[in-house]
Structure 1
Amino acid sequence: MKQFIDFIPLILFFIVYKISPQAVDILGHTFMVGGIFSATAMLIASSIVVYGILFIRQGKLEKSQWLTLIACLVFGSLTLAFHSETFLKWKAPVVNWLFALIFAGSHFIGDRLLIQRIMGHALTLPQAIWVKLNIAWIVFFLFCGAANLYVAFTYQDFWVDFKVFGSLGMTLIFLIGQGIFLARHIHDADASTQPSTKKTED
């Protein structure tokens, strides 16, 4: 569930982006709604609300959530300040690559891999499997970053659609693959630790 919280502001961003640009009067002030810049403002506002609620309910935010929020504020603010969507196009690649760097760094820093710290309370796996799983997340984030960058600057008419639904699709496919991978190894681990029921003869 946590993996999909980040998509709430993205979906709102997508909805506002798809609205035909039009002027809206609010309390005597005229605002433009629709298009990339009002969608970016929605992305910033909804991110603050979503992560603010999480912070109030949990008393804290996870490091990944802080990173996502800060990246949204920085790249979104630069997009609005300079009136250039180029800054926002770099947000997804940079965030994904930072996540890849953090997962990779856990191979050299700390006593446990990052994926093991995240999932270790719920799963017991051989260390070799944790290593493979952590590497899989590194590759996933590297691929997502590269895919977002390529689409953003090559297919500019579709980059927002890909930013939302492409990223969501890649995440779903990866999580399903991870589930299949873990199910197989959990089954093998259970089978190897099951006590023998064979009776010994006197």
Structure 2
Amino acid sequence: MKAVFEFLVVILFFATYVLTKNIILATEVAIVAGIIQAAWCLFKYRRLQTMQWVSLLLVVVMGGATIYLKDPRFIKWKPTVLFWIMSIGLMISHLCDKNVLKSTIGKEISLPEPAWRKLTCAWVIFLLALGALNLWVAFNFTEAQWVNFKLFGSTTILVLFTIGQTVYISQYIKKDEL
């Protein structure tokens, strides 16, 4: 349920666009929904995770630019900027010997250091590529096709990559840990 709640802004953006074919209105809905979602998380959990703050800031700033300038290019850039920020964050943490993936999921999964490095590098490359793919779709296809890609395409690719990473990690899990 929490995953659906976190995905709610994208779903509302998509639903509004499908119903109205108006990307400006869909962006307005996404901004309001993002702010409400953040307020709810702050109320319920007393904090937002770093990436929730970054995503909120991006939707407000880039969505605001889209609305103010009536130019959908800004909101089309938002997923790419988010993916690239995540990628750069992982890369910097890796270079500083502070593996963010390990600190995030290392409590549940025990992996050798080389596996953590490979996992991090895979995510860095994947997020850079997914950001580039978003731009390619955004600026080479119709607005409606990009909106569909934003919800279905990038999400499916992300899920498939995560499954691949799970398969990679599974080789390190001992049978007694299951």
- TM-score using structure 1 length: 0.81
Q: Which amino acid aligns with 2:116?
A: W
Q: Distance in 2 between matches of 1:3 and 1:152?
A: 25
* Equivalent in the alignment of 2:82: 95
Residue from 116, 119, 127 that aligns with 1:133: 119
Q: Which amino acid aligns with 1:126?
A: P
- Identify which of structures 1 and 2 has the higher relative contact order when contacts are C-alpha pairs closer than 8 Å and 6+ apart: 2
Residue from 27, 30, 38 that aligns with 2:25: 38
Q: Distance in 2 between matches of 1:2 and 1:143?
A: 27
Q: Distance in 2 between matches of 1:63 and 1:127?
A: 24
Any unmatched runs of 5+ in structure 1?
21-33, 192-202
Residue from 47, 52, 73 that aligns with 2:60: 73
The structural deviation recorded for 1:49 is 1.2
For the residue of structure 2 that corresponds to 1:72, the secondary structure is helix
Q: Distance in 1 between matches of 2:156 and 2:71?
A: 27
Greater percentage in strand: 1
Runs of 4+ residues over 6 Å off in structure 1? none
The structural deviation recorded for 1:112 is 2.5
Q: Distance in 2 between matches of 1:100 and 1:128?
A: 19
Q: Distance in 2 between matches of 1:6 and 1:146?
A: 23
Q: Distance in 1 between matches of 2:37 and 2:60?
A: 13
Aligned in 2, Cα 1:6/1:70: closer, same or farther, shift over 3 Å? Answer: same
Q: Which amino acid aligns with 1:12?
A: L
Q: Distance in 1 between matches of 2:170 and 2:136?
A: 33
Give the conservation status (yes or no) of the 8 Å contact 1:14–1:161.
Answer: yes
Q: Which amino acid aligns with 2:56?
A: L
Q: Distance in 1 between matches of 2:46 and 2:6?
A: 18
Q: Which amino acid aligns with 1:8?
A: L
* Equivalent in the alignment of 1:12: 12
Residues 43-58 of structure 1: pairs in structure 2 closer than 5 A: 43-58=30-45
* Equivalent in the alignment of 1:177: 164
CA RMSD of aligned residues (A): 1.9
Which protein has the larger Cα radius of gyration, Structure 1 or Structure 2? Answer: 1
The structural deviation recorded for 1:52 is 1.5
Give the conservation status (yes or no) of the 8 Å contact 1:7–1:164.
Answer: no
Any unmatched runs of 5+ in structure 2?
none
For the residue of structure 1 that corresponds to 2:173, the secondary structure is helix
Q: Distance in 2 between matches of 1:116 and 1:3?
A: 21
Count the aligned residue pairs: 176
